[in-house]
């Protein structure tokens, strides 16, 4: 059959789409793939992480609306479609003991209820591939863990005509991936490359914290080094969250492209035959679908 390939990336907050897999998204857009980013929450309970904007009363008073504008600019840079799922940020609880999550937040929603708007989007957009986080959320933010649960539930339910009646014609995505950009192997490789060149590495503390971290199974490495600059511009669009002089930009792009020119994923579900390792999220799908 002749059909345009479609990819849906499901994320928890605005800015997650730019820090996890953004260069791969830009690569696929350039190849003619139709890409949609879905953002589960508005990031309403996020902090101002860019020290250059901390203490600005206008920014503090209007952070939710500012984050929506930042998201719009990042989406423009990446060239993708975008949809808000409409849930409220849960915040990241801190303290000992941890405080309860705020009433009505995303992480406290029943999974069946929270998955419904995503099932509707899947049936409308009809992606062949979906990406999201692993069961640990990539890191244990309650919204990231909930994002995983909702994305998996939607992947499994969207093709079932008995599930979520009234949300559109059933559509079954063919593959589901977990973002694994921040692997220990990648971080160690970049860390060594910086030190070998006599440069200061930003990853020493990360690696110290990750001494006992369990490594995930990376099955798919998508070559996309030429789109790292697009990724960085999308990141910088989230000005309240990203310091342009911060850790994200310490490793020169030429070193990143030389040492680790891919963005990496873990294949979690596949309804098509494929061979591991892969270098394409659409491996096994392109034989059935070609560009219109």
What is the C-alpha separation between 55 and 39, in angstroms, rounded?
Answer: 27
Beta strands in 3-55 (DSSP E): 6-11, 34-41
**Was 160 annotated as part of a binding site?**
no
Which pairs with CB-CB distance under 8 Å and at least 24 residues apart come from 118-121?
Answer: 118/10, 118/38, 118/85, 118/150, 118/151, 118/153, 118/154, 119/154, 119/157, 119/158, 119/163, 119/164, 119/167, 120/164, 120/167, 120/168, 121/8, 121/36, 121/38, 121/83, 121/85
**Was 56 annotated as part of a binding site?**
no
Count CB neighbours of 207 within 10 A.
14
Element (H, E) at 74: helix 63-78
Place of tokens 């070193």: 255
- Residue 175 near residue 269 (C-beta atoms within 8 A): yes
Q: What would you report as the CA-atom Rg of the chain, rounded to the nearest whole angstrom?
A: 19
Q: Give CA separation, 70 vs 23, 138, 161, in Å.
A: 18, 23, 37
**Was 16 annotated as part of a binding site?**
yes
- Locate 146 and state its tokens: 């909930």
Q: Per the annotation, where are the binding residues?
A: 13, 16, 144
Return binding residues for Zn(2+): 13, 16, 144
């Amino acid at each position: 059959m002749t059909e345009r390939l479609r990819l849906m990336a499901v994320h928890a907050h605005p800015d997650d789409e730019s820090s996890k897999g953004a260069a791969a998204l830009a690569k696929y857009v350039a190849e003619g793939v139709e890409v949609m980013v879905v953002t589960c929450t508005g990031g309403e309970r996020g902090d101002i992480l860019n020290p250059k904007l901390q203490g600005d009363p206008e920014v503090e008073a209007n952070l939710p609306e500012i984050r929506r504008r930042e998201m719009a600019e990042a989406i423009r840079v990446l060239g993708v479609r975008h949809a808000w799922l409409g849930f409220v940020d849960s915040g990241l609880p801190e303290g000992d003991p941890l405080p309860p999550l705020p009433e009505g937040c995303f992480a406290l929603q029943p999974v069946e209820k929270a998955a419904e708007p995503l099932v509707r989007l899947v049936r409308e957009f009809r992606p062949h591939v979906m990406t999201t986080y692993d069961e640990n959320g990539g890191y244990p933010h309650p919204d990231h863990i909930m994002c995983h649960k909702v994305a998996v539930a939607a992947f499994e339910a969207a093709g079932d005509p008995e599930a979520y009646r009234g949300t559109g014609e059933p559509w079954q995505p063919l593959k589901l991936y977990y973002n694994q950009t921040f692997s220990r192997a990648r971080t160690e490789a970049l860390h060594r490359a910086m030190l070998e060149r006599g440069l200061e590495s930003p990853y020493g503390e990360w690696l110290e914290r990750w001494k006992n971290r369990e490594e995930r199974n990376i099955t798919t490495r998508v070559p996309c080094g030429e789109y790292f600059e697009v990724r960085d511009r999308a990141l910088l669009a989230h000005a309240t969250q990203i310091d342009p002089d911060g850790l994200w930009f310490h490793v020169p792009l030429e070193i990143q492209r030389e040492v680790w020119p891919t963005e990496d994923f873990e294949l979690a579900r596949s309804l098509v035959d494929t061979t591991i390792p892969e270098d394409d999220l659409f491996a096994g799908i392109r034989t059935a679908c070609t560009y219109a």
